[in-house]
């Protein structure tokens, strides 16, 4: 077949153009491959750093309610209060001090609260329902300490020791019905109808100032403390360290140290007017199993216990009661050493 010169030129021109395009593509692929290899071996130049975006940190901590009552655990009262709280604030962290406060014992409730609060952070909500005056003219309140902890409780003195130690910031009476259960309020179960919903709304972020009017001064609990003289210390048995039956006293470590005793001494003591002699130990195992001792407990108070036994039960000691410890140089009349009556 005959092909003209012009057709030949056209074919060669097309081939030349196509070949040039192939060369350009090959060079581009080679260049990209080299850049990739350089990046893998760390030879590439680092990209200029950009300033990190400015963000405001947000707290992801869940609100906490710490719950204490004298309701016990043999009925449904605590479960009902919990249900009310979670119905209002489903994300709240709900934990307990105890629900085994001796019924109606405001003093014991205040002691447990005093011991627990230092271990919780600011903005913790403490829900305290030890309320022998429920349904009376006593106020239902929310109080705030200078440590910025909140207390939802009856105004019956249960907060006295904590606020004396941590400082009283402010308090308001719970009168706003929006902070209460959205049903008829009973006269005998304010734990369910007033205190639990108020604590839940507070933990959910509601404005504390809207709960009700300011309460400028709270009811104070009349607290007793041990009396120190040159003859010794006279104090009170204020509780039992259950389930162990150890005696808890209101005699502080500092006051006891003034009497002159050291670990290992035999200490004459009057418990509810009965004289005994107790070894002063640092740990329970400082005495044989089954033997009694006097020691300083974890709260810094004088305690009396039996190593692996129940002191109150074994010696039929009733609480509340009295205790007297003389100074080391003015002992009271005691049984013979080694005897315990």
Q: Note whether residue 303 is domain-resident.
A: yes
| pLDDT(283) > 80 | yes
Strands 140-145, 150-154: pairing kind: antiparallel
Q: How far apart are CA 41 and CA 13, in angstroms?
A: 43
The pLDDT tens digits for 329-339 are 765 554 444 45
Mean pLDDT, the chain, rounded, equals: 86
pLDDT category at 242 given cuts 50, 70, 90 is confident
298: left (phi over 0), alpha (psi -120 to 50) or beta: alpha
Nearest to 88 by CA among 226, 230, 192: 192
Residue percentage of the chain with pLDDT more than 90? 76
How high is the pLDDT of residue 62?
83
Domain boundary among 148, 178, 210: 210
Lowest-confidence segment of 40-44, 88-92, 245-249 by average pLDDT: 40-44
* 175 shares its domain with 92: yes
Q: Which residue has the tokens 């002063």?
A: 280
The reply to whether 282 and 194 lie within a common domain is: no
Q: Is the predicted pLDDT of residue 271 greater than 80, yes or no? A: yes
What pLDDT is stored for residue 224 in this prediction?
A: 80
**Residue 205 shares a structural domain with residue 72:** yes
pLDDT over 70 (residue 4): no
**In this structure, are 84 and 157 located in the same domain?**
yes
Distance CA 108, CA 68 (A): 11
Model pLDDT, residue 46: 45
In a domain, 254, yes or no: yes
> Per-residue pLDDT averaged across 201-206, rounded?
96
250 and 288 in a single domain? The answer is: yes
Q: Do 73 and 178 fall within a single domain?
A: yes
Domain of 127: which CATH number? 3.40.50.10790
Burial class (CB within 10 angstroms; exposed 0-12, middle 13-18, buried 19+) of 288 = exposed
- Residues 206, 233, single domain; the answer is no
Q: Which domain holds residue 77?
A: 64-210
> How many domains does the chain divide into?
2
Confidence of residue 244 (pLDDT cuts 50, 70, 90): very high
Do 71 and 203 fall into the same domain? Answer: yes
**Token pair recorded at residue 124:** 């913790």
Query: What is the 3-class SS of 280-311, one letter each residue?
Result: ECCCHHHCCCCCEEEEECCCCEEEEEECCECH
Find the CATH number of the domain harbouring 315. 2.40.30.90
For residue 28, name the pLDDT band (cuts at 50, 70, 90).
Answer: low
Whole-number pLDDT of residue 264? 96
pLDDT digits (tens, 9 = 90+) for 164-199: 999 999 999 999 999 999 999 999 999 999 999 999
The answer to whether the beta carbons of residues 155 and 130 sit under 8 Å apart is no
Same domain? 248 vs 197: no
pLDDT at residue 95 in the model:
97
Residue 212 confidence (pLDDT): 98
Identify the band that residue 22 occupies on the pLDDT scale cut at 50, 70 and 90.
low
Residue 231 has pLDDT above 60, yes or no: yes
Rg over CA atoms, the chain? 37
Inside any domain, residue 91:
yes
The pTM score is 0.76
| Residue 148 tokens, joined | 């910025």
Q: What is the mean pLDDT of residues 89-105?
A: 96
295-313: average pLDDT: 96
| 21 is a domain residue | no
The pLDDT assigned to 125 comes to 98
């Amino acid at each position: 077949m005959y092909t003209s010169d012009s057709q030949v030129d056209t074919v060669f021109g097309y081939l030349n153009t196509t070949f040039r395009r192939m060369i350009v593509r090959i060079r581009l692929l080679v260049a990209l491959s080299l850049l990739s290899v350089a990046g893998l071996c760390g030879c590439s130049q680092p990209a200029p750093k950009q300033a990190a975006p400015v963000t405001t940190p947000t707290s992801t901590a869940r609100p906490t309610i710490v719950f204490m009552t004298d309701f016990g655990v043999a009925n449904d009262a605590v479960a009902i209060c919990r249900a009310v709280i979670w119905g209002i604030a489903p994300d709240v962290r709900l934990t307990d001090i105890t629900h085994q406060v001796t019924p109606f014992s405001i003093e014991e409730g205040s002691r447990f609260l005093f011991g627990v609060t230092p271990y919780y952070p600011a903005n913790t909500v403490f829900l305290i329902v030890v309320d022998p005056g429920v349904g009376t003219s006593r106020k239902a309140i929310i109080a705030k300490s200078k440590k910025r902890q909140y207390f939802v409780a009856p105004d019956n003195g249960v907060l006295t020791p904590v606020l004396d130690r941590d400082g009283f910031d402010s308090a308001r009476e719970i009168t706003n019905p929006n902070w209460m259960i959205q049903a008829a309020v009973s006269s005998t179960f304010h734990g369910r109808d007033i205190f639990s919903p108020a604590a839940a709304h507070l933990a959910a972020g509601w404005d504390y100032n809207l709960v009700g009017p300011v309460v400028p001064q709270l009811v104070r609990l009349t607290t007793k403390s041990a009396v120190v003289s040159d003859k010794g210390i006279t104090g009170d048995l204020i509780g039992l360290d259950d389930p162990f039956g150890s005696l808890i006293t209101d005699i502080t470590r500092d006051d006891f140290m003034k009497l002159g005793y050291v670990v290992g001494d035999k200490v004459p003591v009057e418990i509810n007017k009965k004289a005994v002699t107790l070894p002063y130990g640092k740990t329970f195992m400082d005495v044989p199993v089954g033997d009694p001792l006097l020691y300083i407990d974890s709260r810094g108070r004088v305690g009396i216990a039996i190593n692996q036994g129940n002191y109150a039960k074994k010696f039929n000691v009733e609480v509340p009661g009295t205790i007297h410890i003389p100074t080391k140089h003015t002992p009271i009349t005691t049984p013979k050493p080694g005897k315990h009556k």
